[in-house]
Chain A
């Protein structure tokens, strides 16, 4: 605003008159208010067992910084949002990494919208596994639950109608999955050579992927249908050796087509959730699904507490299950909501492999506010796996607990 005044003073007479409409318009475009927010955290991990590999440590300290900025103009019909991310890790230099999670321009019409830039979208309804969610690559080095995603370059067009919300995605650039380095935990015996990925597409990471999704509410039902055609976000691995005969795994990203369905239904005290996919990749067709329910007990023992029970079954029909964790597994979990001022929540669960009785994992996530800016969080994972055929075998010594102190601004 101050710059405007200086600008006006430096011009004279007629120039000023012609400039006036422009200057009057400027504050809403150029000088739109920018809102800065974000979060940062310190995370300390402690592993319960001695590591499998000599480079790995028992303790790890890590910090991250995630700034956000937002501005809107043209009466709120246009907006630009930015979400950055940078992590510094004590042990694993691969985990020290940055990403633009989001940097996009949104233009909204009456019943439509166009978004251009780097974005993040989420599809699906189930809790234990996200099968239909395919747009963003997993930032797998962040956490074992796979919920962290890398920003995806995209152009989208959405239509919001009585018959549902439809979005078409054009995805011009592929993001590779992140993997732990040799000093990091949660890794295979061989290092993943992320510098030399193999693509099925001739255009490599510049293959033009596309997708379409329709989502609608029908009374107590939420229904989504989706289709994706492009480079698979989930890599296979090719064993290779370099000139020094050191072995490594090169990620292989094939092309694939995927049709997906996701459903949520509210039936009495029950919430039914289901996701299913049909995928064609490397001349193989297979289906996978995850489905189950959540049941809520409200006001337990005359209190304000809620206890929700979750059970989900995971199935994957692939012939080669070397890289598939959720091929025939059952998750049982509980969410304990305190409904207190600090927003305390505890989530705990167990995933049992039904093919191998000695393969299971368990987790606890608890968090609560300290005040308006600060929050604590505890995450713990336990892996039990004696089965070499299961990918979880490589995590058998990676049981850990993590304490995080988060700051929001």
Chain B
């Protein structure tokens, strides 16, 4: 009896230990799996080097009225740090020639400058204002900066088929307290690790925006880029469509092209 009791206690405690081990192991693996998927996503996009592109941004209000913005971009991939980017505004015409220079950093806030042609002035700007709208659109400044692993804590949620593509669904929680989001839910396709859709949740935890990528095109036989991105604001009914008209790789850009001293020459 005594022995039986002991053994049953042993068995129960053993079972409990196993269960707790299994459950903690499972919780850990959701984070680990999330991180592994995010790392694979980053890895698949490694080595694109540099690019130039031509884009339009269509801003729509809830009544369906629209305004078009035009810009072109120059981007440079960096190995040990976040990417460098130049955005040159072409339309509306009163801001034509304005240049936005961004050095993305994984943990530290991005370094950002704006060149204002009217004053011939290079102005350092605060990247802590990352939740602010980019050119009056539904994209925030932080949505325009490059994807870095250190910016988020990841969690794998489930598998799901999104528009016919087998996908992982991840939760990513921004590590920066200045982010405008409490979390993002990301659909990544299993075959190419491309971001198909993102749901953005505001600081109060309500769904704020939904981004969907369309018309994926393969560049340099390796890198997938969506030529059309829709960002829809669930709370105010406004939306912004980002259309890539032209995208070129291996354009010969170097670090020198991303200097605040030469912004006045950028076209």
Contact = CB atoms under 8 A, between A and B. Distances in A.
Contacts of A113: 262, 265
Interface stretch (B36-44, B86-94, B142-150, B185-193): B86-94
Interface of A: 35, 37, 39, 70, 72, 76, 79, 106, 108, 110-111, 113, 120-122, 147, 158, 160, 165, 167, 215, 217, 222, 264, 266, 269, 271, 296, 298-299, 304, 306, 339-343, 369, 371-373, 375, 406, 408-409
A37 B96 contact: yes
B93 A122 contact: no
Given A37-B96, A339-B133, A408-B94, A147 B119 contact: yes
Given A160-B262, A298-B132, A339-B133, 7 more contacts: A108-B262, A120-B120, A158-B261, A222-B124, A304-B133, A341-B59, A408-B94
* Chain B interface size, under 10 / 10 to 19 / 20 to 34 / 35 or more: 20 to 34
B95 interface: yes
A165 B259 contact: yes
Interface string B115-131: 00001111010101101
Nearest to A215: B261
B261 A122 contact: no
What is the predominant secondary structure among interface residues of chain A facing chain B? strand
Contact of A339 (B93, B132, B256, B260): B132
A136 to B, nearest CB: 9
Given A79-B265, A113-B265, A408 B119 contact: no
B131 A372 contact: no
A120 B121 CA distance: 10
A339 B122 CA distance: 21
Contacts of A369: 92, 94
Interface of B: 59, 61, 67-68, 91-97, 111, 119-122, 124, 126, 128-129, 131-133, 136, 180, 256, 259-262, 265, 267
B69 to A, nearest CB: 9
A271 B260 contact: no
B266 to A, nearest CB: 10
Contacts of A298: 128-129, 131-132
Contacts of B256: 110-111, 160
A375 B93 CA distance: 10
Contacts of B126: 266, 271, 296
A106 B265 CA distance: 8
A306 B96 CA distance: 23
B262 A375 contact: no
28 contacts: A39-B94, A76-B267, A79-B267, A111-B256, A113-B265, A121-B120, A122-B119, A122-B120, A160-B256, A160-B261, A160-B262, A165-B259, A167-B261, A217-B124, A264-B124, A298-B129, A299-B131, A304-B133, A339-B136, A342-B136, A343-B94, A343-B136, A372-B67, A372-B68, A375-B94, A406-B94, A408-B92, A409-B93
